[in-house]
Amino acid sequence: MTSPATTKLMFLLWGDDLPAALRDPDLHGRLAAAGVRRLQVNVDDEPVTAALRMQTFEEPVRAVVSVWTDGSAAHAAAALVSGLADDASKIAGWRVDERRPLDPPETYDGSRADTLANVAILRRPEELPREDWLAWWLGPHTQIAMETQATFGYLQNIVVEAVTPDAPRVDAIVEELFPSAALGDIHAFYDSDGDDDELGRRLTRLMESVAKLGADRDLDLVPSSRYLYDLG
């Protein structure tokens, strides 16, 4: 967990050559010099090729980067954008309010976590008041999601403000961690123990809640590998 004084920023990245660039020590050094203390890289790379994807953006999001800084958010954002200028075709970033209803085990050593990390990019339906949307998502839906899936990590990020020019509208970014077996086994994904009837019950309950949230439309789902770094 971060301290209350630490600011979290999240970025969506587009481009075809991101995995190596995001793990480049030179980039990490530039981020550290700009006040970034921790870095999380979620990248749609080879280990998650078989995973489900959903797309609302014109082009698929290829990576999601989170940084925690005790300095200027503007300086941290500028360091990331300039450091990836030759590798990302587009970068959009926001300051977020992070909540962790299910805190995953984490090691900030740069190794790939043994997980399928799904990142969902949410947009609130216009007909649903923000207060109602947040109340359902942060309340009943959170509990339903954790009770119907095999998640061992659940992180919610409420978008506060954009930190890059022309960032598109995004209301929240969610990360859910699943066992690696979930990549090829729907029962492992929903923790239904091979029982098709139980799988159906869990799917129905979850999808009803998803519809109440409006996340049955206008959603981007980015499967990813997860890498964490301590930048000092």
d(CA 9, CA 96): 6
pLDDT digits (tens, 9 = 90+) for 22-70: 999 999 999 999 999 999 999 999 999 999 999 999 999 999 999 999 9
Q: Retrieve residue 188's tokens.
A: 């492992």
For residue 69, tell me if it sits in a domain.
Answer: yes
Residue at 16 is within a domain: yes
Of residues 114, 159, 113, the one with CA closest to residue 133 = 159
Residue 32: in which H helix or E strand, if any?
helix 25-33
19 inside domain: yes
Tell me, yes or no, whether 194 lies in a domain: yes
Q: Whole domain around residue 22: which residue ranges?
A: 7-230
Whether 166 maps to a domain, the answer reads yes
**Confidence at residue 2, expressed as pLDDT on a 0 to 100 scale:** 46
d(CA 37, CA 29): 10
pLDDT of the residue at 5 = 59
Cα–chain-centroid distance for residue 66?
8
pTM of the model: 0.95
Displacement of CA 19 from its chain's centroid (Å): 16
Asked whether residue 174 is domain-assigned, the answer is yes
Residues in the chain where the model's pLDDT stays below 50: 1-2, 4
CB 77 within 8 A of CB 95: no
pLDDT of residue 1: 43
Judge residue 8's burial from the number of C-beta atoms within 10 Å of its C-beta, 0-12 exposed, 13-18 middle, 19 or more buried. buried
Does residue 2 belong to any structural domain of this protein?
no
Integer angstrom CA distances of residue 152 from 102, 200, 210, 221: 7, 21, 19, 18
The verdict on residue 1 lying in a domain is no
* Domain count within the chain: 1
C-alpha 18/C-alpha 20 separation (Å) is 6
Q: What is the CATH number of the domain that holds 59?
A: 3.30.70.100
